[in-house]
């Protein structure tokens, strides 16, 4: 398989260097929630391979190869940018996360020259979405809503039977007993009411996501409303707050299966925008340091020569992202993260060492120069050996 991995990577480079920025993958939208998207797993795997290729290029001092690998990653990202499925955009956010992790590793192991930093910033800009064009998930929410309404229209039999294994004992019982009851439940269960609820929820979710991402603040009224709405419907049915007359859950049981995970998609998009802003800010700080032989006193000092404006932290009421100077030109820029508590740029649990994106900060850290200037690891490492480990 080594030759195949190498051939795929070469083809991805060829596509990226051609300037192609949009892609199309064969999708049968008529299948609704059953639509198969096999290309997503492959694209994420290719992104990982390209990221490791960039690491190896840095180890070998091949900066052009580094930029080439990241341009190919960006072309994968752009190819999915307008795909109208929520899972497609979440995979795209995952690709952004892969890119961020490996750029963080590169900054920790070498000192990139000014011209490479400029070109890398241009590549990162391909992931950037202007505020007035957010949210990235708007089209996906529309597609999800249409698929959900189509599911409701098909009724209970189709929904339940689609979740039963074709060779299970449960299916035999369902065929002999369960199906005879569904004509009755279709009468008792008002699908039209659930459809109205779904349209209301999706509309509120789209409005909240657009408002939050454009204003870069999770405390906008639209977000607070949808949080309260979700909590009342799906979690705390004994709440004494708003929506005291919420309908019984059996009137919208399909919604209870599909919707709870959707609320977290707003946080996923916010994290995407924050990660891109952090990388661009770190590049700006490093360029400033190389030119002035010192770190900026604050991020405002980077405006307008290195940044158009200081990025905002959506989990900190839209305040500027945090910046900490460390010894010997080390520094970190970070968001306080989804828990809305400032942990000083810490992203790992001090006890377990594990990363918890919902509990700690979202940092981009650049270590002191003496660490970055240490000899690199062995140049004998091959990309194909790393790819083999990924496949295992």
Task: Give the per-residue pLDDT at 304.
Answer: 94
User: How confident is residue 243, by pLDDT bands cut at 50, 70 and 90?
Assistant: very low
* Cα–Cα dist 272/159, whole Å: 33
Distance CA 144, CA 148 (A): 6
Q: How far is the C-alpha of 256 from the C-alpha of 198, rounded, in Å?
A: 10
pLDDT tens readout for residues 126-157 = 999 999 998 899 889 999 999 888 888 765 55
- Per-residue pLDDT at 278: 97
Question: If we measure between CA atoms, which residue out of 331, 267, 320, 261 comes closest to residue 296?
Answer: 331
Q: Which residue has the higher pLDDT, 387 or 308?
A: 308
pLDDT score at 30: 86
pLDDT tens digits, 322-358: 999 998 999 999 999 999 999 888 887 666 666 677 7
Nearest to 211 by CA among 132, 104, 93: 132
pLDDT at res. 1:
45
Helix or strand (DSSP H, E) at 363: strand 362-366
pLDDT-wise least confident of 61-70, 204-213, 254-263: 254-263
- CA–CA gap between residue 231 and residue 237 (Å, rounded): 8
pLDDT tens digits along 352-378: 666 677 788 999 999 998 888 776 555
Q: How many CA atoms lie within 13 A of 139 on its CB side?
A: 13
pLDDT band at 67 (very low <50, low <70, confident <90, very high): very high
Give the model's pLDDT for residue 18.
87
Distance CA 144, CA 89 (A): 12
Q: Are 306 and 291 in contact (CB under 8 A)?
A: no
pLDDT digits (tens, 9 = 90+) for 87-106: 999 999 999 999 999 999 99
Instruction: Spell out the residues 6+ positions from residue 172 whose beta carbon is closer than 8 angstroms to its own.
Output: none
Chain segment 282-313, per-residue pLDDT in tens: 999 999 999 999 999 999 999 999 999 999 99
Give the up-direction half-sphere exposure of residue 157: CA atoms within 13 A in the CB hemisphere.
13
Q: Is 255:342 a contact under the CB 8 Å cutoff? A: no
Instruction: Tell me what the pLDDT averaged over the chain comes to.
Output: 83
Q: Is 78 exposed, middle or buried (0-12, 13-18, 19+ CB in 10 A)?
A: middle
Buried b (16+ CB within 10 A) or exposed e, 20-42: eeebeeeeeeeebeeeebebbee
State the pLDDT at residue 210. Answer: 94
The DSSP bridge partners found for residue 332 are 324, 365
The larger pLDDT score, comparing residue 381 to residue 33, is at 33
Q: Are the C-beta atoms of residues 362 and 272 closer than 8 Å to each other?
A: no
At residue 242, the pLDDT reads 46
Rounded to whole angstroms, the Cα distance separating 151 from 223 reads 27
Instruction: Report pLDDT for 198.
Output: 86
Look up the pTM and report it: 0.84
Confidence bin at 261 (pLDDT 50/70/90): confident
Mean per-residue pLDDT, 45-67? 93
pLDDT of residue 174: 46
User: Within the chain, where are the H helices?
Assistant: 2-17, 39-59, 63-80, 86-109, 114-125, 138-154, 156-161, 169-173, 179-188, 191-215, 221-230, 253-258, 265-292, 369-372, 383-391
If you average pLDDT over residues 208-236, what whole number do you get? 86
pLDDT at 287: 97
For residues 210 and 137, give the distance between their C-alpha atoms in angstroms, rounded to a whole number: 9
Q: Is the pLDDT of residue 51 over 90?
A: yes
């Amino acid at each position: 398989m080594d030759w195949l991995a190498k051939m795929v990577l070469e083809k991805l480079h060829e596509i990226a260097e051609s300037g192609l920025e949009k892609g199309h993958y064969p999708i049968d939208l008529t299948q609704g929630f059953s639509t198969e998207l096999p290309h997503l797993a492959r694209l994420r795997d290719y992104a990982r391979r390209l990221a490791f290729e960039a690491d190896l290029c840095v180890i070998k001092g091949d900066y052009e190869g580094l930029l080439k690998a990241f341009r190919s990653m960006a072309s994968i990202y752009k190819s999915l940018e307008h795909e109208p499925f929520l899972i497609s955009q979440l995979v795209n956010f995952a690709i952004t996360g892969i890119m961020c992790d490996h750029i963080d590793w590169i900054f920790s192991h070498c000192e990139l020259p000014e011209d490479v930093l400029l070109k890398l910033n241009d590549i990162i800009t391909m992931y950037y979405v202007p505020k007035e064009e957010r949210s990235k998930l708007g089209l996906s929410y529309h597609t999800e809503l249409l698929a959900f309404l189509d599911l409701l229209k098909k009724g209970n039999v189709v929904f339940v039977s689609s979740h039963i294994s074709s060779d299970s004992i449960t299916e035999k019982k369902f065929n002999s007993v369960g199906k005879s009851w569904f004509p009755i439940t279709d009468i008792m269960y008002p699908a039209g009411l659930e459809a109205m609820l779904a349209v209301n929820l999706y509309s509120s979710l789209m409005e909240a996501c657009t408002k939050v991402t454009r204003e870069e603040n999770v405390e906008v009224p639209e977000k607070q409303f949808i949080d309260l709405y979700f909590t009342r419907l799906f979690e705390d049915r004994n709440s004494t707050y708003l929506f005291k007359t919420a309908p019984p859950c059996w009137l919208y049981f399909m919604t209870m299966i599909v919707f709870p995970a959707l609320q977290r998609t707003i946080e996923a998009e916010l994290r995407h925008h924050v990660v891109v802003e952090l990388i661009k800010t770190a590049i700006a700080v490093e360029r400033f340091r190389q030119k002035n032989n010192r770190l900026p006193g604050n991020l405002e000092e980077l405006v307008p020569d290195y940044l158009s404006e200081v990025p905002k932290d959506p989990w900190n009421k839209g305040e500027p992202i945090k910046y900490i100077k460390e010894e010997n030109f080390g520094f970190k820029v970070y968001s306080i993260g989804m828990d809305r508590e400032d942990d000083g740029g810490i992203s790992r649990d001090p006890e377990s060492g594990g990363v918890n994106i919902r509990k700690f900060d979202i940092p981009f850290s650049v270590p002191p120069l003496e660490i970055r200037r240490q000899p690199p690891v062995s140049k004998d490492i091959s990309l194909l050996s790393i790819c083999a480990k990924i496949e295992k």
